[in-house]
Chain A
């Protein structure tokens, strides 16, 4: 079986760029209620400004060239029942030969580029912290990977894809970092391959929405019973409340009627812009988005290989496969980073039911897109977890992160 890896260069055709511009020229915007602010969704002024920039000033070719500075590849990955999928990924090795192989997994509406700021931090060599060989894939249905053609591509299949990719790259043992769906996938990688190929995982999205149960997590149950919530935890519960009551409309639609929504995201760049930009703002902690930064993000979706409609199917498939809300646990070391503007912010005793939590870090700022908003902090957390003296030091045989 030959190695099917090919170097990948992002190169959107001129025809695609022109087609997008023609659509933007014909954009039709709604009005807005007076003084709406963010109460009804994305403000009209933001959309108008971004639309104007997208038509005039935003330079996709320049953005593309920057993306192409990242070492990207594609290869065929076999997924049982689905044949071979062409998977796109960033693969940056550290100069440290014994760096720890780390798989970074994005979510929705994220993508592989969320790893961009982490790459230099995780791969840098230093006696003071461990180094990593980093792999960041475009999940199937996202970015520049294939989308499966058949129904049923659920969490288990995402997990299989990720593991097969790492094995194909020669990483028989590795660790995982993920937020959003990347967290869901990391936890399932842990429960499926924990103590085999997957040695530990870290997540900045401790998605636990129920308190510990006496039967499953007696230790956390009693801790929860006697420990009052901190001020941060109370704020976290409010943030979670907001998300579950006001911020979940997209999820309800995506998990029940992804195709219906898909027509909007595929046909209208304005629809796609609004749908995603809403999350980029509401899910981050005062992150100072620049217009071109937003437009690059949206463009990755617009120009994605399977198209933006495919990206929302993960919601549907995982629900019909009954993969929510219970995610099986694993005994492998697990690390958690808490950011106050994450969308689900459970108290610590709840979060510790995720698995064998050996590392926790609580931050004063930052939100859902931690790798993009707080790369230094996130990298520091991952380094602390896996470095010398850290609770997950040496989990990968022969690759402790230092030469």
Chain B
């Protein structure tokens, strides 16, 4: 229904900008142990430098204007049991009429802007690779979408929201790409709507934390038994080990007491900066973050429609609904995996293949969790290879093969 859609421009009120500056002017930072570096968390020097820049030099209006070059919209999506949510999304069509509709789903602490560098790569026309019509939403509770006001907005609800958005845009069949929560939601989309509206999915976050079991994945079970881990896989397991032992404090808090933490993220821009920046650095592969780039990222959270506290609830709701630790239901639709060495959970291939009907794999020498932001060329190349002519998922969407 075209008339339901409204073009969207980010326009943070002057009052909000002034309020943020007032808070920054009053910030109080802690001390730090000598030589702490990154051992105890975000180094003080980083926070001080970013804080200073945020107060003096960082230009939100300029960043906002850049973001507004991306075609954005909002529309109301009815989600069963939750009424209508106003959902914000990027929608960029390719000039290729038969481009493949692709839904890009972010995670936490990500947001819709993670699609930014991929957009030109996906939508551009070429005889040598397929093109995509790209939709990248702000998940409910994030960015410029509404947050649900009732409890229970779990993975299934996120999937429902995504599917309804794509259908509302006239994409009766589409493919999905996601990392972090986007990976989780992509997998739920596949299992709920696979072969109906959802025709294939790709993820750069093959989040499998256990070896294949004999009963559910006998083929992978035996492959796993007899295949030694490669050097890369052993390194991957160590990275996973690090994450589980050292890097999951945020997960435990967010999945059990999101409101308590929420007070910190809502009230203190410094708290929000540190909490998210820690992940931007630790979860990437030496990505050369620029201060303004970081501040734009954090600002999207600070100025988000529902506030930063709402973004944490997905951890609580999915755990409370037992969706997270249970083995996710799979689908037979084609699935593609990209492995980046500094991802958080890097399973050996035999484990990862239990995600679904894995028809495409690609292993990279560098890159981390925020692949779309760190390695857009590589990620785009993977997806083109998966869906392009001669690729294992070519033509999954009827009448939209990605070429004119």
Q: Do A and B bind each other?
A: yes
Q: Which A residues are closer than 8 A to B by beta carbons? A: 19, 22-23, 26-36, 39-44, 47, 147-151, 245-250, 252-268, 270-271, 273-275, 278, 306-310, 313, 316
**A24 nearest CB neighbor, chain B only:** B267
**A41 close to B261 (CB less than 8 A):** yes
Give the CA-CA distance A28 to B268 in the complex, in Å.
8
Once A33-B151, A39-B151, A259-B44 are accepted as A-B contacts, the answer to whether A278 and B260 lie under 8 Å apart by CB is yes
A224 to B313, CA, bound (A): 41
Cα separation A252 to B255 with both chains bound (whole Å): 12
Given contacts A39-B151, A263-B268, list 18 more A-B pairs with CB under 8 A. Answer: A31-B310, A42-B263, A44-B259, A47-B263, A149-B33, A151-B40, A246-B257, A257-B40, A257-B41, A259-B274, A263-B47, A263-B271, A263-B273, A264-B264, A264-B270, A268-B264, A308-B30, A310-B31
Q: State the 10 A-B residue pairs at the shortest beta-carbon distance, nearest first.
A: A259-B41, A41-B260, A260-B41, A41-B259, A30-B309, A253-B249, A309-B30, A249-B253, A271-B264, A264-B271
Interface of A: prevailing SS:
helix
Residues of B within 8 A of A260 (CB): 40-42, 274-275, 278
- Residue numbers in A under 8 Å from B36 (CB-CB): 151, 259
CB distance from B154 to the nearest CB of A (A): 13
The answer to whether A274 touches B252, judged by C-beta atoms less than 8 angstroms apart, is no
The reply to whether A31 and B30 form a contact with Cβ atoms under 8 Å apart is no
Residues of A within 8 A of B22 (CB): 26
A and B contact pairs by CB, cutoff 8 A, 7 listed:
A40-B316, A42-B257, A149-B33, A249-B257, A255-B249, A263-B29, A267-B268
A146 to chain B, nearest CB (A): 11
> A43 to B263, alpha carbons, bound, how many Å?
10
Cβ–Cβ contact B29 & A33, under 8 A: no
Q: How far is the CB of A45 from chain B (nearest CB, A)?
A: 11
Q: Is the CB of A42 within 8 A of B259?
A: yes
In the complex, whether B306 has a CB less than 8 A from a CB of chain A is yes
CA distance A260 to B268 in the complex (A): 13
Whether B247 is near chain A, meaning CB under 8 Å from some CB there, is yes
Report Cα–Cα, A315/B250, bound state, in Å: 15
Please report the C-alpha to C-alpha distance between residue A151 and residue B35 in the assembled complex, in whole angstroms. Answer: 8
By beta carbon, the residue of chain B nearest A30 is: B309
Could you tell me the distance between the alpha carbons of A39 and B23 in the complex, rounded to whole angstroms? Answer: 30
Contact B149 A262 (CB under 8 A): no
Give B269's nearest chain A residue, CB to CB: A267
Q: How many residues of B contact A (CB 8 A)?
A: 63
Within 8 A of A (CB), among B243-287: 245-268, 270-271, 273-275, 278
State whether the Cβ of B307 lies closer than 8 Å to any Cβ in chain A.
yes
Q: Is the CB of B34 within 8 A of A150?
A: yes
- A106 CB, nearest partner CB in chain B, Å: 20
- B214 within 8 Å of A by Cβ? no
Q: Is B39 an interface residue (CB 8 A)?
A: yes
A263 touching B42, Cβ below 8 Å: yes
Residue B196 interfacial (CB < 8 Å): no
Point out the residues of chain B lying under 8 angstroms from A254, CB to CB.
249
**Complex: A33 Cα to B153 Cα, angstroms:** 10
Complex interface: chain B residues within 8 A of A147 (CB) = 31
B residues 135-151 in Cβ contact with A at 8 Å: 147-151
Q: Is the CB of A259 within 8 A of B150?
A: no
Q: Which residues from chain B sit less than 8 Å from chain A, CB to CB?
A: 19, 22-23, 26-36, 39-44, 47, 147-151, 245-268, 270-271, 273-275, 278, 306-310, 313, 316
Nearest neighbor of A269 in chain B, beta-carbon distance: B267
Known: A26-B19, A30-B307, A274-B264. A266 touches B30 (CB 8 A): yes
Find the residue from A29, A150, A267 having the highest chain B CB count within 10 A. A267
Asked whether A271 lies within 8 Å of B263 as measured between CB atoms, the reply is yes
Which chain A positions have C-beta within 8 A of B249? Answer: 249, 252-257, 261
Residues of A within 8 A of B261 (CB): 41, 249
Chain A contacts for B259, CB-based, 8 A: 30, 32-33, 36, 40-44, 274
Instruction: Give min CB distance, B21 to chain A, whole Å.
Output: 11
Interface hub of A28, A31, A147, A245 (most chain B Cβ within 10 A): A28
Determine whether the beta carbon of B270 is less than 8 Å from that of A306: no
Which residues does chain B contribute within 8 Å of A310, judged by CB atoms?
Answer: 30-31
**Quick check: A268 and B267 within 8 Å, CB to CB?**
yes
B252 close to A249 (CB less than 8 A): yes
Are A31 and B268 neighbours in the complex by a CB distance under 8 Å?
Answer: no
Bound CA span A262–B309, Å: 18
B255, B262, B263 pick with most chain A CB within 10 angstroms = B263
Q: CA separation between A241 and B259, bound complex, in Å?
A: 21
**Chain B residues in 8 Å Cβ range of A22:** 26
In the complex the two chains form, is B253's CB within 8 Å of A250's CB? yes
Residues of A within 8 A of B33 (CB): 148-151, 313
* Residues of chain A within 8 A of B35, CB atoms compared: 150-151
Q: In this complex, what residue of B is CB-closest to A259?
A: B41
Judging by beta carbons under 8 Å apart, are A259 and B40 in contact? yes
Looking at the complex, which one of B29, B39, B151, B266 makes contact with A266 (CB distance below 8 Å)?
A: B29
User: In the complex the two chains form, is A263's CB within 8 Å of B30's CB?
Assistant: yes
Task: Note all chain B residues with C-beta closer than 8 A to A274.
Answer: 259-260, 263-264
| Residue of A with least CB distance to B307 | A30
Complex contact B267–A27 (CB within 8 A): yes
CB-defined contacts of A307 to chain B, threshold 8 Å: 30-31
B267: contacting residue among A19, A148, A266, A271, CB under 8 A: A271
Interchain nearest-CB distance for A23 vs B (Å): 6
Q: Using Cβ atoms and an 8 Å threshold, which residues of chain A touch B245?
A: 256
Q: What A residues does B258 contact at CB under 8 A? A: 40-41
Cα(A23)–Cα(B19), bound, Å: 12
| A264 B310 Cβ-Cβ under 8 A | no
Report A-chain residues with C-beta under 8 Å of the C-beta of B150: 33-35
- Asked if B263 and A29 make an inter-chain contact with CB atoms under 8 angstroms apart, the answer reads yes
Measured CA separation A273–B260 after assembly (Å): 9
Closest residue on chain A to residue B247 by CB atoms: A256
Q: How far is the CA of A41 from the CA of B40 in the complex (A)?
A: 25
A248 and chain B: residue at smallest CB distance = B252
Chain A residues positioned under 8 Å from B278 (CB to CB)? 257, 260
